[in-house]
Structure 1
Amino acid sequence: MAFPVILLAEDNQANIDTMCGYLESRGYRLILANNGQQAIELTASQKPNLIVMDIQMPEMDGLEAIRRIRGDRQFTDVPIIALTALAMPGDRESCLAAGANEYLTKPVKLKQLTATIQQLLGK
């Protein structure tokens, strides 16, 4: 398999730099979206192997974006990891209900993120 393409939907530049640097050093190719709407458009045009979706984003939040991506039949099997900074009771459930496969809280432990990605991509 060629290098897996990961769509990172995140609006915090520091987080983007950290995650991109780490994942690219491990052989993943990254596509960036700064909000939910962009994430939906890039998923449609780039067809990533996996999506890392921040839940708190401007314009359209991650949950809505996940629901819309899942609403498109060709993307029902794309693994989605939801990231949330504000871990509230019920967050995990709402992320999984929206269609995320996994849920991680920020600040994200990069090793845990990578392990989760590898697990979801069946590596």
Structure 2
Amino acid sequence: MSSSDSARHVLYVEDDRINIVLMEEVFRPMTGWTLHVAETGGQAMEMLPRVMPALVLMDMNLPDMNGLQLMALVRADERLAGLRCIALSADVMDDQRQRARAAGFQDYWLKPIDVRKLREALERL
């Protein structure tokens, strides 16, 4: 896969089926973008080197690990260390946002996701 191809891929790491279906609907009309879904941190770590997405949208509460643990694995892998990752959570506590930033997330978005904000982020890539 060339880097121009990878610039059009997003990995959504989320275990909630309803959120996955909603995100698929958000991406359906967005020509030129491909959404990939991993439902666990383990699946994400298997997919990331293959997909090398332009953006990773990562739920902070996964069945096999939390988002901070997954981010530590991502940042420890040289191939993945530069990926742009955004934390997704319903947790409004400022300390969670600070921990996410310290772990290497570029941003921390509250659920439900603001679709306009997502589209603006994709346009900047």
TM-score (norm 1): 0.88
Matched residue pairs, number? 120
Which residue type is aligned with residue 48 of structure 1?
A: P
Alignment of structure 1 residues 4-83 onto 2, 5 Å: 4-27=8-31, 28-83=33-88
1:117 shift after superposition: 3.1
Secondary structure of 1:90's match?
helix
Cα distance between partner residues in 2 of 1:85 and 1:39: 20
Other-structure match for 1:100: 105
Cα distance between partner residues in 1 of 2:118 and 2:71: 18
Cα distance between partner residues in 1 of 2:68 and 2:122: 19
Consecutive unaligned residues of structure 1, counting only runs of 5 or more, are none
In 2, are the aligned partners of 1:6 and 1:31 still within 8 Å (CA)?
yes
Q: Determine what percentage of the aligned residue pairs are the same residue.
A: 30
Secondary structure of 1:8's match?
strand
Cα distance between partner residues in 2 of 1:41 and 1:4: 19
Cα distance between partner residues in 2 of 1:62 and 1:114: 22
TM-score (norm 2): 0.87
Which consecutive aligned stretches of 4+ in structure 1 deviate over 4 angstroms post-superposition?
none
1:46 shift after superposition: 2.1
Which residue type is aligned with residue 28 of structure 2?
A: E
In 2, are the aligned partners of 1:23 and 1:114 still within 8 Å (CA)?
no
